[in-house]
Amino acid sequence: MSRDLGTACGGINDSKKLMEKQREGLFDRIMATALAVGVGIMDHDVVDRDNILQATLAAMKQAVEQLATAPDFLLIDGISTVPLPLPQRTIKQGDSRSISIAAASIIAKVTRDRMMVEYDRLYPGYGLAGHKGYGSQAHLEAIARLGPSPIHRTTFRGVREYVRSGE
Kindly report, residue by residue over 45-84, the tens digit of the pLDDT.
Answer: 999 999 999 999 999 999 999 999 999 999 999 999 999 9
Residue 6: pLDDT above 80? no
Domain residue ranges of the chain, discontinuous segments joined by +: 3-122, 124-167
Which amino acid type is present at position 71? P
Task: Determine the Cα–Cα distance for residues 155 and 161; give it in Å rounded to an integer.
Answer: 9
Q: How far apart are CA 78 and CA 69, in angstroms?
A: 24
For the four alpha carbons of 59, 24, 70 and 6, in that order, the dihedral sign comes to negative
pTM of the predicted structure, to 2 decimals:
0.89
CATH architecture of the domain 3-122 equals 2-Layer Sandwich (3.30)
Mean pLDDT, the chain, integer: 92
